[in-house]
Chains A and B, each alone.
Chain A
Amino acid sequence: MTDYGHTLEFGVFITPTADDPAAVVELARLSERLGYDLVTFQDHPYMADRLETWTLLSWVAAATERVRLSANVFNLALRPPATLARAVASLDLLSGGRFELGLGAGAFPQGVAAMGGEVRTGGASLRALGEAIEIIRALWTTGRRGIRFEGEAYQLVGAQPGPIPAHDIPIWIGGYKPKMLELIGAKGDGWIPTLKYITPEDLAAGNRAIDAAADVAGRDPREIRRLLNISGVFQAEAGGLLQGPPEQWARDLRPFVTDLGFSTLILMSDDAAEIERFATEVMPALRDAVADRPVMTVKRAAIRAQRREGIDYEGTPAGIRAIEPGDIDYPRVKSTYLRGGAPGIVLQPANVEQVIESLAYARRHPDLPMSVRSGGHGVSGRSTNDGGIVIDLGALNAIEVLDEATRRVRIGPGARWMEVAVALGQRGWALSSGDYGGVGVGGLATAGGIGWMARQHGLTIDHLRAADIVLADGSLVHASEAENADLFWAIRGAGANFGIVTAFEFEVDEVGEVGFSQLVFDASDLAGLLERWGAVVENSPRDLTSFLIVSRQRGGQFIAVALSMIASSYAETILARLQPMAQIAPLLDQSVYLTSYASVMANAALDDHAGVGEPLSRTGLLDHITPEFAQAAERLVQSGASYFFQIRAVGGAVADVDPDATAYANRAANFSVVAFGASPSRVEEHWPALHDHFEGLYLSFESTRSIERLYDAFPPRTLERLRDLKGKYDPENVFRDNFNIAPRR
């Protein structure tokens, strides 16, 4: 009695005859409608009356939506592994992760030779298959440089890996001989024999051979799914194996599942009525009959080998997507925009209940770092870690309108600001957030939000009316001025310390077309330029918000780029605001557009993050750009210690808000200064000269993590209150990874 614990699945095996291609496609679609899990086709490229299997699979993938697809099985001799790997990955990507790889050593040497394929027999063909599996897996892995492979059958000299498939594609292998079974045990993810060609006794023996080989290879035999191609006859009177009424089929098949461990049963048939009968009468009966068998998935040994210490991988909450270091998606989720990471596990909850479960799971690992990630753009990089747990809220990205009249919207933390801008823009609305469309809602809206219309409309958090928060104890609370008002105060500036915000409710602004301009200046006199720019900004009406970026050109020349938004759709107003700005230094280039807020925010590609190393960013809030500050900034930039130096305008509406109204308290500042650097010691050399001028700090732009930064960020009264509230809402300091405020107990 063997059962490898895989979910029970059903497939069809359709002959790809060329005389009626549409009928073949229709059988596949019918199978999908009938609830089959898998549609498979044989692959005999030397047969001229067949459709070519790869092309057919690609077509059928486009013509179906849910069902998974595979060859049963590909003839390796006519499909070299390197190009096959790319093709399979391509189809898996195009089909949304619905392709599985069935592979065979390539029978019918005559047919292969007739087609100009390389004929390999016996041991050579098996070795070729083993090599092919290695090559295919290597090409599906990132992070490596060109692949070199010196095989007997295949040689690669520096082939670049990729594309990475959409899911971890299993490689299922067809074959019967002992050496083949050994190979399956050592390297395969599945065995597909055909019942016609093998007795139940030999199936059992085959399983034993595979299991033994798996053992030898240090694998768990349960990593290998057993699939079986079956065929029979539906008839009224009971006959031999699979010859009889549907009830008999179900009875006949049951022991194959429960005693022999074949959990995927693939019906070989081209008869629509038979395919339907099997689906409607055999499948449900068999499902019922085996309903109580325990099911579990065992990851490949190669994946398990990459697990980190102290994480309960087997105990991840059911139903929540969990990605571990060996998983195919891991490279896509391990890092953030600015920081390379190596977390032990990334959980991707899809709803609030799953957030609560993810948090409970994380709390069962009290000694490991826990990161909360929304858009992954955190400058401190704390939304990833090394060896710990990441709760990735990317899937909680809904944007909905709650009330048209008051322009009240509800936004999930995983949404990105460029998506928010598009959704709001469709209604003639906007919410000033930040300058980059890729930034996530969760990190920004719990910290501040210094955006393109900050002077006109205030910080993002100034528009927050309510939020849903999962607290450390797993409770879900609503916070607003009326409910949990103290918590509502805290999450507007220090949210990361208090819980996981799962939804934000904002009241947004009516915003029509806006002016957006880019002025490029010669920054040879940097200090003078900074001072003059600061004065222009402070003297401008609130409808102008300007961000200045200083950088060094290739020739060593310094340039400054002023990006300004003028919240007005009148050309005269826009030009009038830009006039004084254009005078601050010699202009090298200029452009001005009448555009939409959403178009300005459409400046990011929402790609996977690939940050490496540690970010280095220093920041401070400044009341005025004084000559002394401007000179200190000039020295920093000219030293080359900061490769990216930016000043954002705040003030205006931001300063209208009472400093005690939110945890973001440094309301008086007119500017927020940010410097990115490469070498901490070089930045440190110049930074104190700037630091002297600051009146506070906006945490979202800071990467150094000393306790001093908390004193910079929060005035004493604010910090005191935050400590008290931390003691109330997170006494055990669960949320401690990003600028931790120690709880007062």
Chain B
Amino acid sequence: MTRQAAITMDYGHDLLFGTFITPTARPVSQAVELTRFAEDVGLDLATFQDHPYNPGLLDTWTLLSYAAAKTTRIRLAGNVLNLPLRNPALLARQAATLDLLSGGRIEMGLGTGSFWDAIVAMGGPRRTPGESIEALEEAILLMKELWDTETRGGVRSDGPFYPVSGAKRGPAPAHPIQFWIGAYKPRILKMVGRSADGVVPSLSYLKSGPGELAEINKWIDEGAEAAGRDPHAVRRLLNIAGQFSRTSGGFLVGPARQWSEQLADLAHRYGVSAFLLGSDDPETIEFFAKEVAPMTRELVAARR
């Protein structure tokens, strides 16, 4: 196979393969069963969207907790949790609790929130894009503080979004929980580079296709460097969707070999190191775990 002179990026993370499961309330146990299934077929991660204003979905934090208790190995995260309808101080304690209960299997997928009418309908705040990014960064820093039990004294902050007055530190999670942020635009990406541990965009939202990932990386790297951080500290995750078929029918529509090559290419060109498959279909999930994941790992290892 011939390859174009490759522009490559590689942030050196081990490759992760996971699912992006609909937390549907009907049938009620579907999401939990799919999580167990994802674990059984060997995936690394199970993630769920969070739309607390949508009555057709289960509450994502509850589901994460319940699913974590029903599994033993797989790691879990929101993809991504809706900050405006969750109190970050409480969320820090929740995440630490679940991380402790699950033996260190929880990561913090978090986002600014975007459906403001629905958020306000639930009694949440309405924020401008700028405010929502500031609130998110404030929440990240607050949560990190609350997890930091090495430092003495309560956590204080004047906000403006989340003022706390001497909140006690702890419990400390079982492992350093990663902040993975849903983000697309320069300003928030720079914030990710500065303050978070990962970015998790959805491929289907990239208007100009996978090429946009280079832009995303650029802003994150810039943000990281400006803050004196190593851009490698930020994992690049990606929500993907596709179809398994015998013959090729476009991007991520085709046989396992094609999927693997296309994913390896994303890893190679844009440093994507975690692929989260949006699917509620066990057959597709199994195909992804058993055929695509190992082949992609091989291809990426060969090129690294």
Given contacts A115-B90, A163-B55, is CB(A82)–CB(B164) below 8 Å?
no
Interface residue? B255 (CB, 8 A): no
CB distance B154 to A114 under 8 Å? yes
Interface residue? B93 (CB, 8 A): yes
The interface residues of chain A lying within 8 Å CB-to-CB of B58 are 90, 93-94, 163
CB distance B55 to A54 under 8 Å? no
Contact with B along A703-714 (1 / 0, CB 8 A): 000000000000
CB distance A83 to B85 under 8 Å? yes
CB distance B89 to A52 under 8 Å? no
CB distance B87 to A78 under 8 Å? yes
Nearest to B100 among chain A residues (CB) is A21
CB distance B28 to A94 under 8 Å? yes
Complexed CA–CA distance, A116 and B29 (Å): 34
Given contacts A49-B170, A62-B66, A162-B55, is CB(A54)–CB(B61) below 8 Å?
yes
Distance between A509 CB and nearest chain B CB, rounded to angstroms: 29
CB distance B121 to A59 under 8 Å? no
Nearest to B54 among chain A residues (CB) is A160
Interface residue? A117 (CB, 8 A): yes
CB distance A51 to B123 under 8 Å? no
CB distance A116 to B122 under 8 Å? no
Within 8 Å by CB of B62, from A48, A54, A166, lies A54
Given contacts A51-B100, A52-B94, A62-B70, is CB(A115)–CB(B167) below 8 Å?
yes
Contact with A along B72-111 (1 / 0, CB 8 A): 0000000000000111111001101110110000000000
Complexed CA–CA distance, A18 and B92 (Å): 14
CB distance A159 to B121 under 8 Å? yes
Interface residue? B169 (CB, 8 A): yes
CB distance A94 to B162 under 8 Å? no
Distance between B143 CB and nearest chain A CB, rounded to angstroms: 12
Complexed CA–CA distance, A59 and B62 (Å): 8
Interface residue? B68 (CB, 8 A): yes
Within 8 Å by CB of B90, from A45, A56, A94, A95, lies A45
The interface residues of chain A lying within 8 Å CB-to-CB of B89 are 45, 115-116
Given contacts A91-B62, A94-B63, is CB(A48)–CB(B168) below 8 Å?
yes
Among listed A150-158, A450-458, A564-572, A725-733, interface-contacting one:
A150-158
Given contacts A49-B171, A156-B121, A607-B26, is CB(A114)–CB(B101) below 8 Å?
no
Contact with B along A48-70 (1 / 0, CB 8 A): 11111011101111110000000
Given contacts A116-B164, A159-B53, A160-B53, is CB(A52)–CB(B59) below 8 Å?
no
Nearest to B86 among chain A residues (CB) is A83
The interface residues of chain A lying within 8 Å CB-to-CB of B69 are 58-63
CB distance A90 to B87 under 8 Å? no
Given contacts A63-B69, A83-B85, A114-B164, is CB(A159)–CB(B123) below 8 Å?
yes
CB distance B120 to A157 under 8 Å? yes
Interface residue? B130 (CB, 8 A): no
Contact with A along B144-180 (1 / 0, CB 8 A): 0010010000100001001111111111000000000
Interface residue? A308 (CB, 8 A): no
Nearest to A63 among chain B residues (CB) is B69
Distance between B154 CB and nearest chain A CB, rounded to angstroms: 7
Contact with A along B26-41 (1 / 0, CB 8 A): 1011001000000000
The interface residues of chain A lying within 8 Å CB-to-CB of B87 are 78, 115-117
CB distance A114 to B97 under 8 Å? no
CB distance A93 to B25 under 8 Å? yes
Interface residue? B271 (CB, 8 A): no
CB distance B168 to A55 under 8 Å? no
Residue among B58, B101, B162 with the highest chain A CB neighbour number at 10 A: B101
Interface residue? A25 (CB, 8 A): yes
Contact with A along B222-234 (1 / 0, CB 8 A): 0000000000000
The interface residues of chain B lying within 8 Å CB-to-CB of A113 are 165
Interface residue? B201 (CB, 8 A): no
The interface residues of chain A lying within 8 Å CB-to-CB of B129 are none
Residue among B29, B63, B171 with the highest chain A CB neighbour number at 10 A: B171
Interface residue? A580 (CB, 8 A): no
Complexed CA–CA distance, A94 and B61 (Å): 12
Within 8 Å by CB of A54, from B94, B101, B117, lies B94
Interface residue? B249 (CB, 8 A): no
CB distance B171 to A163 under 8 Å? no
The interface residues of chain B lying within 8 Å CB-to-CB of A161 are 55
CB distance A87 to B28 under 8 Å? no
Interface residue? A146 (CB, 8 A): yes
Interface residue? A395 (CB, 8 A): no
The interface residues of chain B lying within 8 Å CB-to-CB of A87 are 59, 61-62
Distance between A120 CB and nearest chain B CB, rounded to angstroms: 15
Complexed CA–CA distance, A544 and B246 (Å): 31
CB distance B68 to A59 under 8 Å? yes
Complexed CA–CA distance, A307 and B116 (Å): 40
Distance between B255 CB and nearest chain A CB, rounded to angstroms: 21
Interface residue? B22 (CB, 8 A): no
The interface residues of chain B lying within 8 Å CB-to-CB of A56 are 97, 101
CB distance A21 to B101 under 8 Å? yes
The interface residues of chain B lying within 8 Å CB-to-CB of A512 are none
The interface residues of chain A lying within 8 Å CB-to-CB of B282 are none
Residue among B86, B96, B168, B169 with the highest chain A CB neighbour number at 10 A: B168
Complexed CA–CA distance, A154 and B123 (Å): 7
Contact with A along B1-42 (1 / 0, CB 8 A): 000000000000000000000000110110010000000000
Nearest to A166 among chain B residues (CB) is B28
Interface residue? B278 (CB, 8 A): no
Could you tell me which residues of chain A, from 336 to 361, have a CB within 8 Å of some CB in chain B?
A: none
Complexed CA–CA distance, A652 and B95 (Å): 65
CB distance B66 to A52 under 8 Å? no
Distance between B136 CB and nearest chain A CB, rounded to angstroms: 15
CB distance B171 to A55 under 8 Å? no
Interface residue? B114 (CB, 8 A): no
Given contacts A18-B171, A87-B59, is CB(A55)–CB(B121) below 8 Å?
no
CB distance B165 to A58 under 8 Å? no
Nearest to B82 among chain A residues (CB) is A83
Complexed CA–CA distance, A705 and B229 (Å): 78
Distance between A696 CB and nearest chain B CB, rounded to angstroms: 40
Distance between B281 CB and nearest chain A CB, rounded to angstroms: 14
Distance between A24 CB and nearest chain B CB, rounded to angstroms: 9
Distance between A347 CB and nearest chain B CB, rounded to angstroms: 24
The interface residues of chain B lying within 8 Å CB-to-CB of A48 are 93, 146, 149, 167-171
Complexed CA–CA distance, A82 and B53 (Å): 9
The interface residues of chain A lying within 8 Å CB-to-CB of B167 are 46, 48, 114-116
The interface residues of chain B lying within 8 Å CB-to-CB of A21 are 97, 100-101
Interface residue? B294 (CB, 8 A): no
CB distance B28 to A86 under 8 Å? no
Complexed CA–CA distance, A244 and B19 (Å): 56
Complexed CA–CA distance, A268 and B52 (Å): 34
Complexed CA–CA distance, A90 and B65 (Å): 11
The interface residues of chain A lying within 8 Å CB-to-CB of B53 are 159-160
Given contacts A58-B62, A113-B165, is CB(A51)–CB(B171) below 8 Å?
yes
Interface residue? B211 (CB, 8 A): no
The interface residues of chain B lying within 8 Å CB-to-CB of A166 are 28
Within 8 Å by CB of B166, from A63, A114, A163, A607, lies A114
Interface residue? A47 (CB, 8 A): yes
Given contacts A90-B25, A94-B29, is CB(A59)–CB(B55) below 8 Å?
no
Contact with B along A76-107 (1 / 0, CB 8 A): 00111111001101110111000000000000
CB distance A91 to B123 under 8 Å? no
Residue among A55, A82, A89 with the highest chain B CB neighbour number at 10 A: A55
Nearest to A87 among chain B residues (CB) is B59
Could you tell me which residues of chain A, from 362 to 396, have a CB within 8 Å of some CB in chain B?
A: none
The 3 closest A-B pairs by CB, nearest first: A162-B55, A58-B65, A62-B69
Give chain A's interface residues, CB within 8 Å of chain B.
18, 21-22, 25, 45-52, 54-56, 58-63, 78-83, 86-87, 89-91, 93-95, 113-117, 139, 146, 154-163, 166, 607
Further contacts, 11 of them, CB under 8 A, given A22-B101, A89-B59, A115-B89 = A18-B100, A48-B168, A49-B170, A58-B62, A78-B90, A83-B59, A83-B86, A90-B62, A94-B62, A116-B167, A117-B87
Q: List 12 A-B contacts (CB under 8 A).
A: A18-B97, A47-B168, A50-B171, A55-B98, A80-B123, A81-B123, A82-B122, A87-B59, A114-B167, A159-B123, A163-B25, A163-B58
